[in-house]
Structure 1
Amino acid sequence: MNSKKRRVTGCGYPISIFFIVVNEFCERFSYYGMRAVLVLYFKYFLRWDDDLATSFYHTFVAFCYLTPILGAIVADSWLGKFKTIIYLSIVYAIGQVAMAVSAIHDITDSNRDGTPDNLTFHVALSMVGLLLIALGTGGIKPCVAAFGGDQFGDTQEKQRRTFFSVFYLCINGGSLLSTIITPILRAQECGIHSKSKCYSLAFGVPAALMVVALVVFIMGSGMYYKAKPEGNIMLKVSKCIGFAIKNRYKHRSSQYPKREHWMDWAEEKYDKLLIAQIKISLRVLFLYIPLPMFWTLFDQKGSRWTLQATTMNGHFGSIVIQPDQMQTINPILILTLVPIMDSLIYPLIRKCGLNFTPLKKMTVGMILAALAFVCAAMVQLQIDKTLPIFPSASQSQLKLLNMENNQLEVHLPNNFTDLLLPAAQASDIQNKKLAFQQETLRRPKIISLPDGTRNTIVIVEQGPAFGYITIDDLTSKPEEGNNAIRFVNGLATDINVSAPAADFGVIESFYMSIYSLLKTGTKTIFTKNNVKQSCEYSRDFGFGSSYTFFIPSTFVFGPNCQESVTEVENIGPNTVHMALQIPQYFFITVGEVMFSVTGLEFSYSQAPSNMKAVLQAGWLLTVAVGNFIVLIVAELAKFPKQWAEYFLFASLLVVVCVIFSIMAYFYTYIDPAKIEAQFKKKVDEEEEEEESKLEMNAWPEIHATRSSGKQLKRGGRLKKSTF
C-alpha cells in the first residue's frame, strides 16, 4: 500500500476514517433498532404466533450472517470494498424503507383485532424488505472494517489499533441507543384514522439513519484510499480443496502411494505454501463445528426473551420499561465488562497461576450461556404460576355475573355444588365441560357452552322474568402488556364511558361494552348518563390484566360513585418483575465476552497471514447455523411449556460444551507466522537444491555441446584453410 495517498490530520489519523466511523454508528443503529422490535412486529402486527414469529426472526438473522461471504467475494474479486459498500448500502436502505412502509395501514380498513385486511401485502412487503436488509447488512459487514484499516499506512499501526477500538465502540454505542429509542417509538400511538402501535415509526427512523449512513460515507469519497480488488482468497482456497478431493478420489486405487495429509493431493496444481496454510486453517475450522450451539442460545435474547418480557411487570420506580428495551442490558454490560475482564479478571487469574487459554475461556463462556437459559427457565416457571388457567380444547370456563337485585339459586349438573349467587356479584366455574341449568322461582334457563371457550354470562332483570347475555372472554393475556377493560351497564338508562386513549362509547341498558386496551399507569374513567350526571374516578393498572367493571342498578352518580362500582378481575396483572431477567442477561453477556471476543482473537492469532478472511467467514457461518437450529427446534419441538424448551437448549449446550472441551484438550497452539517462515525457507531450499540438481544433471550435455561447438568451429576453420 502506498501511504502517500492517504490524507492525514495533524494528529496522524486519516480524515477519511471520520466518515467510516459515523457510517458504522448509523448503520448499526439502523440494524439493531429494526431488529429490536422485529419479533413484536411479527406477533402483534402480522398476528403470528410465538413459534412462527421466533422462526422468521432467526431465519432473518441467519441470512444476515450468510451474506457476508457473498459480500467478501464481490468486494475482493470484482468491485472493490468502496463500490461494494455503496451499492449494498443502497440495497440496505431500500429494504429499511420497505419495512417502514409495510407497517403502515389504515386502521379503518382493519379487522376487529387491528389486523390489516390486506395482510398478504404487508407480509410480502416485509419479507422483501428483510431480504434486502440481510443482503445489505451482511454484504457490507466484512468490507467496512477492512476498508477502514486500508486507510492507514504501514507506519500507522498504533493509529490503526485505536481505530478498531473506536469502531467496536461505535457498534455497541449504536446498538445501545437504538434498543432504547426504537421500542419507545414503537410504543407510541399513531394511525391514519385511529390509534395503533407505531411500528412504521420504529422502522422509519432506522431507515432514515441508514440513508444518513450512506450519505456520510459518500461524502468522504474523495478522501478514501481505495485498494484495487486483488482476487478473493476464499475462492482460491475453495478451488484448492476441491481439487485435492477430486484428485484423491481420482487416484484412490492402491497403486498410488499414500500421502501424509489429504490436502497433499493438491500439490500437482497448487503451491505447497498455500496447501500448508489451508492445513493450518482447517485445524481451526474443525474446532468451529460445535460453536453454532452457543449462538442458538445467544440470539434468542431478541426473540424468546423479548416475548417472555411481554408477560412481566416493567415498572422500575417511576420509569416503565418496554419488553424490547430489556435488550439494552446486553450492550451496556458489553461496554462495561470488556475492559473489566481485560484489565482485572484475566490478570487476576494469571496471577493465581492458572493457564486460562483462549479455548478454556470459550468453554467457560458456553457454560455461562447455558446457565443463562437455566435462569430464563426458572423465571418462566414463576411467570407460569401467575398466568390464569385457560380451558383446553375439551373444556370450557364460565363466569356468572348476577345483575339482579335478588339472590339467584343456580343448579349445576355433573355433581357440581349448587350455587347461591348473591346480587351484583360474580362467581367462577372453571375447568369443566358443562351444560348448566339455572332455576329460580320464576323460570329455569338452560345454557350450553362451546368447548375451549371462556364465557361471562350476565343475568339481567327483564320485568317479572330474567334474561341473560353470553359474552366471550379473553383466552389469552392482553397483548404487549396492555390492560383489557370493559363495562357492564346495569342501569335502566344508557351511559357513556371513556378513559384516556379509550372510548367505550354508548353502553345500552343491561348490556356490555367491547374490550378496550389501556396502558399501564393511573387512568381516569369518566361515566355519564343521558341527563348529564357524571362520575369520575381513577384506577391504577399494571401490565397484562383484564377487568369487567359492573355498574349496578343501585349506582349513584357523584363524588363517591366509585364505591358502588363492582370490579371483576378476569385475568390478573403481570406480577413477575422484568428485573428477574437481569441475571440471565448478565450470564449471557459474560458468556459472550468470554466466547465471542476470545474466539475472534483466537481465530486471528491461529490463522495464516492470508487466511484470516477465510476464518472470519467461517466464524460468521457458525452464527448463521446457530440461528437455523433455533428455527428447527421452534418448528419441530412444539413444547407445551416454554420453560421446558429453555431447559432443552441449556442441556444441549452443556453436551456440546463437553464435546468442545475434549476437542480443545487435543488442540496444539501454533504460531502460523513462524510455520510460514519455516515453510518458505524450506521451499526455497528445496527449490535451490532442485535447481542445483538440474544443473548437475544438465552439465555433461552442456559440456558435450560446448565441445562439439568448438570442434565445429575448428572444423570450419580447417575447411576454410583447405579451400
Structure 2
Amino acid sequence: MGILESLMAFPYQVWFILGNEFCERFSFYGMRSLLYIYFKREHGMPSHISRAIQHAFNGVAYLTPLLGAVMADSCFGKYYVILVGSIFYVLGHVSLSAGALPFFGLVVRQVFDYVGLLTIAVSTGGIKPCVAAFGADQIPPEKAEARSAFFSYFYMAINAGSVLSMFLTPQLRDISCAGSTTCYPLAFGVPGILMLVALILFVCGTCWYVRKPPARENLAFTIIGCITLGLSRKICGKKPLVLEEDDDPDEALRVSSTSSYSDREIGPRMMVGAGPKAKLESKTKSNLQSLADPRRFSGKAERAESAQRSIGITGNNDEPKKTDKKRMEQTKEVLRKRCQWLDGAAPNYSEMQIWGVKCLLSILWVIWPLCFFWFLYDQQSTTWVDQATHMNGKIGHFYVNPETMQMFNAVFIIIYVPVCKYFVYPLCEKVIRLTFLRKLGIGLVMAAFGFFISGYLQLAIDYNATIRPDDGHVFVQRIGSGPNLTLYNYKNTTEEVFITKRRRQTLPGRYVLDPDAQNSTIELALERDEPKTLQAYVFALEAGRLNSLQYNFAQTQELHETRVILFPSFDIAASNWTYYVKGHLLKGTIKNGTIIDLKHTFWDTLEYTIIMGPNCTEGFKCKYRATVENLAGPVHVLYVEKSGVEIVQVMAPFALHVMWQLPQILTITFGEVWLSVTGLEFVYDQSPPFMKSMMQAIWTLTISIGNILEVIWSMINPLAGKAAIEAFVYGGIIIVVTGIYVVLACRYQYIEGFPTVEVAEEEDEAIGGDESSKTEEAKKLLGPKGKKANKPETSQESTIVEEKKTKKKSQ
C-alpha cells in the first residue's frame, strides 16, 4: 500500500487521534525538558533536589499507565479515560505555568508547581496505554494494512512531537519577559496550549468514534487474588485440590473455601480442577472462555503487535498457534514447573489462569534488573543536562542549549530502529543467535559504556575548568592602574603576599594592608577546616584607599552564558553613571557588584558592546565602552574609572564543545533500542494471550522503579560534587547488575505458544454432543485459525467447564 493509499484508507476520526498524540507528546516532552534547570535556577534548589523532583515526576508518570489500562478495560472505556485525563492534563499545565510567574511568592509558586506536576504525571500516565489502542479501534479489522500504517504514523507523531518540543521550548525560555531575562511562563505555557489543542482535536472526533464497551472484568484483581490465595495456602501447608470424577464440585468448593477468602475477595470462581483427574462444572456463567480466549484482549494484543511491527518488531506469538502435540506438552511441562506454590490457587482459579500468573511472575523475575537501565537512562534529562551546562554550545552564530541535547535521543531512535532491524540484527545473527534475553543483556552493557564515556568526558571538563579554591581559601586578584598590593598575614606578620596586576592567587586566613593598621583588616575566609560558600575578591588601590569587589565563585560556575561584573571606582560609584548593552534590553546604573548576564539565543551575536557614561542612554554618544566576546561560561570584571575602563577575565570560558556528548547519547540510545523495543517484544511473546495487554503496562513499571531508585540515590548520594566518579560508579553498578541478569536469564525457559487452542477444544468436548456439533461449536467460539468469530445471536453465553480428559474411548 502506497503512502497516499494508506492515508486515504484512514477514517476521518483517525486524524483527530494522530493530531492529539502529536500535540500531547509535544506538551509532555517540551515541559519535561525544562524541569531540571527550572527548579535549579528559578527556585535556587541544589542539584540533588532538582534531580529528585525530575525523577519523581518520571516515576509517577510511568507508574500510572497500569491504572489507566485497568480503568479503560474494566470500568469506563478508553474514550472517557482519554477525555477526562486530557482535561486534567490541561489543568496541570495551567498550574505549572502559574507557578512560573514571578509575581507570586516562592511558597505559592512551589505549590502551583508541585500540584501541576503531580496532575500532569497522573494524567499522562492514565491516557498513555489508551490512545494507540483507541486509534486502532477506529479502523475495521479487515483493513489490516491500514491498521499497520496507522501505527507507523502514530509512532512518527510521537517522535515528531518530542523532537520539535525539545528544540523549541528552550528557545522560548530564553526570551525576556516579565522583567526577567528568561520567560518560563511562556516556555511552560506553549506546551499547555498544545495540550489544549490536543483536547479540542480529540473532542472534535467524538461524533465519528467507534467506542467499544469495557470488558467489565478486572484482570489485575484476578492476578492479585490468584497470587494471594496460592501463597496463603502454601504458607498454611495446604495442597492443591484434586477431584475425582464423581466428586461434587459444589461440596468441594464449600470445603476448600475459608472465611478469609470469599468469592468477593478472590474474584469469580473459575471452576477448573488442578489435578490430573479433575472434573468441575461452573456454578455460574462466569465466562472463563472469554478470559482464557485470546480474543479477550485481542484488540490490544493485535494493536500492540501492529505497533511493534511498524517499528521493526515481529512477535513470535502474534496469535495462538496450534502447535504439534510434542511442543505443547513441553510448554505445559515448563509451566507446571514454574512457581508450583501457585497450584494451590486451584480450584478457585482455572489452570489457564494459574499458568498465566506463572508466566507473569517468571517474566518479572527475569526483567527486574532492567530497572537499573532506566535508573541510568533517564539521567539524560538531569545529570547529562547539568554536564552540558559546563560545555560550550556555540556553533558560529548558532547556540545549542543544554536542554536541547535531549533532542538527539529521539532523533537517533528514529534512525536506529530500522538500521538495527535491517542491518545490525542480520549481521549479528551470522555470528550468534540473538534471543530476546541476549538482546536485553546487550542493552544493559551499552548503558554501562554510555556512562563510562560520560565519566571520561567529565574528567576532561574538570581538567579544563577553572580550579576551585579549597575550603577556607579564596581567590584574590588586583585590577586598576594603581601600584601593586601587599597583604600581611594577620597572625604572622612576617608573611607577606604580593598581589600583582592580573595575577589570581589563592589565599587562606585574614590579611591586613599594614601590620600596625588593625582597622584595615580584610577577612578573606574563615578557618581552613570550616567549609563555606566559595568567594573571590578583586582589589584596586585608589590614592591609598582600598577598593574591593566580592563575588560568589560557586554561582559563576553554574553559568553557561557570559557574565560581566561591574567594579566602579569610588568617584564613579558616587556619581550617576549608567550603562546599556548595545542591541540588548539590558541597562541600569553602575554600582559595585552589578551583574550583567549576556544570555545566548538560537541566532547568537558574536560579541556584545557595553556603553557607559554619565546619564548614558541609547541614542546619545557616551565616552566609555567595552567589548566582550560572547562565549559560554566566562566571567569578566569590568573596572570603570574616569581615566578609562579595564576588563579582566576572572573565569575562563568552557573549553569543550557540547557536541562531545553525542558519543554517550549515541551509545545509550543504541542500548535503548536493543533493550526497550526488545523488552516489549519479549513480554508480549512470553505472556498468555489474555495477559498481553496487562504485560505491556507492567513493562512500564520497570521505568517507574528505575526513576524511584534515582530519587533515593539523589537524596543520599555520597558522591555529590564528584560527577566523574559518580558516572564510573553508575557504569560499575550496571556491570554488576548485568552479571546478575545473565544468571537469571540462563535459568529462564522460553515457552513456544500458549495452550489456549487445545484447552478450548477440551472445553468444547466437555460441553457434550457428537463430533459434528463439537466441531461447529469450536468454529463459532474460535473462528478460523483461532481468530475471533461472531457471537451466535440466538444462543446465550455457553456454560464453560474445563477438565482434564480421563475417560477412555472404551468407556
* TM-score with structure 2 setting the length: 0.76
In structure 1, give the amino acid aligned to 2:219.
I
Q: 1:524 to 1:472 in 2, by over 3 A?
A: closer
Greater RCO, 1 or 2 (C-alpha within 8 Å, sep 6+): 2
Q: Is the 8 A contact 2:547 2:569 kept in 1?
A: no
Residue identity opposite 1:82 in structure 2: Y
Q: Which residue of 2 aligns with 1:214?
A: 199
Q: Is the 8 A contact 1:523 1:540 kept in 2?
A: yes
- Counterpart AA for 1:57: Q
How far did residue 168 of structure 1 move?
1.4
Say which SS state the counterpart of residue 597 (structure 2) adopts: strand
Aligned match of 1:535: 624
- Quote the offset at 1:270 in angstroms: 1.6
The structural deviation recorded for 1:407 is: 4.2
Match of 2:406 in 1: 327
Contact 2:90/2:196 (8 A) holds in 1: yes
Question: Does the alignment pair 1:429 with 2:505?
Answer: yes
> Aligned pair 1:396/2:393, yes or no?
no
Q: Percent identity?
A: 31
CA–CA distance in structure 1, aligned partners of residues 682 and 559 of structure 2: 42
Task: Provide, for residues 600-626 of structure 1, a one-character-per-residue CA deviation record: whole Å limited to 9, x for no partner.
Answer: 112112221110122112211100000
From 167, 180, 189, the counterpart of 2:176: 189
> What is the alpha-carbon distance in structure 1 between the residues aligned to residue 487 and residue 635 of structure 2?
26
Is 1:676 paired with 2:747?
Answer: no
Contact kept, 8 Å, 1:280 with 1:672, in 2: the verdict is no
**1:242 and 2:228 equivalent?**
yes
Contact kept, 8 Å, 2:6 with 2:149, in 1: the verdict is no
Amino acid at match of 2:596: S
**Partners of 1:472 and 1:693 in 2: how far apart?**
88
* Superposed counterparts of 1:642-681, under 5 Å: 642-673=723-754, 675-681=755-761
Give 1:706's aligned residue: none
In the TM superposition, residue 470 of structure 1 has moved relative to its aligned partner by 5.3
Identify the match of residue 362 of structure 1 among 426, 440, 451: 440
CA gap 1:693/1:551 in 2 versus in 1, 3 angstroms: closer
Question: What's the offset of the Cα at 1:566?
Answer: 2.8
CA contact 1:72–1:232 (8 Å) conserved in 2: no
Note the C-alpha offset of 1:687: 7.5
In the other structure, the counterpart of 1:270 is: 349
Native 8 Å contact 2:579 2:589 kept in 1: yes
Is this contact kept in 1: 2:511–2:522, CA < 8 A? yes
C-alpha contact (below 8 Å) 2:488/2:515 kept by paired residues: no
Instruction: Report the Cα distance in structure 2 between the residues aligned to 1:133 and 1:338, rounded to whole angstroms.
Output: 29
**Cα deviations by residue, 1:59-92 (Å, 9 ceiling, x for unpaired):** 0000001111111121112111101110111011
Q: Separation in 2 of the partners of 1:168 and 1:64?
A: 19
Residue 506 of structure 1 deviates from its aligned partner by 3.5
Counterpart contact for 1:92–1:137, Cα < 8 Å: yes
Q: Contact 1:365/1:590 (CA < 8 Å) preserved in 2?
A: yes
Determine the C-alpha separation between the residues in 1 that align with 2:660 and 2:480: 41
| Residue among 627, 635, 638 paired with 2:718 | 638
**Structure-1 separation of matches of 2:7 and 2:707:** 46
Q: How does 1:215-230 map to 2 (within 5 A)?
A: 215-230=200-215
CA displacement at 1:439 relative to structure 2: 3.6
The structural deviation recorded for 1:223 is 1.2
1:545 and 2:634 are equivalent in the alignment: yes
What's the CA shift for 1:215?
0.8
CA distance in 1, matches of 2:739, 2:808: 57
Q: Is the 8 A contact 2:30 2:162 kept in 1?
A: yes
Distance 1:10 1:122 in 2: 45
Structure 1 segment 73-84 matched on structure 2, within 5 A: 73-84=70-81
1:454 aligns with 2:535: yes
For the residue of structure 2 that corresponds to 1:61, the secondary structure is helix
**Native 8 Å contact 1:504 1:513 kept in 2:** no
* 1:613–1:255 CA distance, 2 compared to 1 (3 A): closer
Residue 42 of structure 2 is matched in structure 1 by 45
From 284, 290, 293, the equivalent of 2:369 is: 290
1:584 to 631, 654, 664: 664
Q: Equivalents in 1 of 2:43, 2:552: separation in Å?
A: 22
Partner SS state of residue 671, structure 1: coil
What is the distance in 2 between the residues matched to 1:308 and 1:527?
35
> Structure 1 counterpart of 2:695, which letter?
L
Q: Measure the CA separation in 1 of the matches of 2:348 and 2:236.
A: 14
Q: d(CA) in 2 for partners of 1:171 and 1:379? A: 31
Higher Cα Rg: structure 1 or 2?
1
Cα distance in structure 2, aligned partners of 1:296 and 1:576: 27
Q: 2:567 aligned with 1:488, yes or no? A: yes
Query: Corresponding residue for 2:701?
Result: 621
CA RMSD, 1 decimal: 3.1
Deviation at 1:660, TM superposition (A): 1.4
Equivalent residue runs for 1:370-409 within 5 Å:
370-393=448-471, 395-401=472-478, 403=480, 405-409=482-486
**Number of residue pairs the alignment of both structures matches:** 659
> Counterparts of 2:241 and 2:71 in 1: how far apart (Å)?
42
Cα distance between partner residues in 1 of 2:549 and 2:748: 70
Q: Secondary structure at 1:524's aligned position in 2?
A: strand
Q: Secondary structure at the match of 1:481?
A: coil
Amino acid at match of 1:428: R
Q: Could you list the per-position Cα deviations for residues 113-149 of structure 1 after superposition, in whole angstroms to 9, with x for gaps in the alignment?
A: xxx6x11111111100011101110000111111122
Point out where structure 1 has 5 or more consecutive residues left out of the alignment: 1-7, 107-115, 556-564, 700-723
Q: Deviations over 1:19-41 (max 9, x none)?
A: 11111111111101100111111
Question: With structure 1 as the length reference, what TM-score do the two structures score?
Answer: 0.85
Distance 1:522 1:298 in 2: 37
Secondary structure, aligned partner of 2:478? strand
Letter in 2 for 1:157: A
Q: Secondary structure in 1 aligned to 2:101?
A: coil
| Residues 390 and 696 of structure 1: CA distance in aligned 2, closer, same or farther (over 3 Å) | closer
Distance 2:442 2:628 in 1: 49
Name the CA distance, whole Å, in 2 between partners of 1:272 and 1:392.
68
CA gap of 1:466–1:593, structure 2 versus 1, over 3 A, is same
Q: Deviations over 1:404-437 (max 9, x none)?
A: 6344444446599634555xx344331x422112
Distance 2:223 2:503 in 1: 73
Q: Distance in 2 between matches of 1:407 and 1:239?
A: 82
Distance 1:364 1:637 in 2: 28
Q: 1:450 to 1:9 in 2, by over 3 A?
A: closer
Q: Tell me the alpha carbon deviations over residues 551-599 of structure 1, each in whole angstroms, 9 at most, x when there is no partner.
A: 35542xxxxxxxxx43222222111210110001000111111110111
Task: Determine helix, strand or coil for the equivalent of 1:288.
Answer: helix
Q: Distance in 1 between matches of 2:808 and 2:546?
A: 115
CA distance in 2 between partners of 1:485 and 1:595 (Å): 47
Q: Secondary structure at the match of 2:121?
A: helix
Provide the C-alpha distance between the structure 2 equivalents of 1:443 and 1:273, rounded to a whole number of angstroms: 90
Check whether the contact 1:73–1:235 (CA below 8 A) recurs between aligned residues. no
SS of residue in 1 equivalent to 2:550? strand
Report matched runs for 1:138-157 at 5 Å: 138-157=125-144
What secondary structure sits across from 2:670 in the alignment? helix
In the alignment, is the contact (CA less than 8 A) between 1:478 and 1:546 conserved in 2? Answer: no
- Specify the alignment match of 2:302 in structure 1: none
Q: Compared with structure 1, are the counterparts of its residues 240 and 309 closer, same or farther at alpha carbon in structure 2 (3 Å cutoff)?
A: same
Which residue does 1:119 correspond to in 2? Answer: 106
Pick the aligned partner of 2:554 from 469, 475, 495.
475
The structural deviation recorded for 1:381 is 1.1
- Equivalent pair of 1:93/1:207 in contact (CA under 8 Å): yes
Q: Which whole-Å CA distance do the structure 2 matches of 1:381 and 1:620 have between them?
A: 34
Give yes or no for the alignment of 1:606 onto 2:686. yes
Deviations 1:266-302 (A, max 9, x none): 2121222222222223222222211100100111101
Kindly provide the amino acid, as one letter, of the partner of residue 523 in structure 1: Y
Query: Unmatched 5+ residue regions in structure 2?
Result: 244-273, 276-335, 527-531, 601-605, 769-801
Whole-Å separation in 1 of the counterparts to 2:354 and 2:239: 23
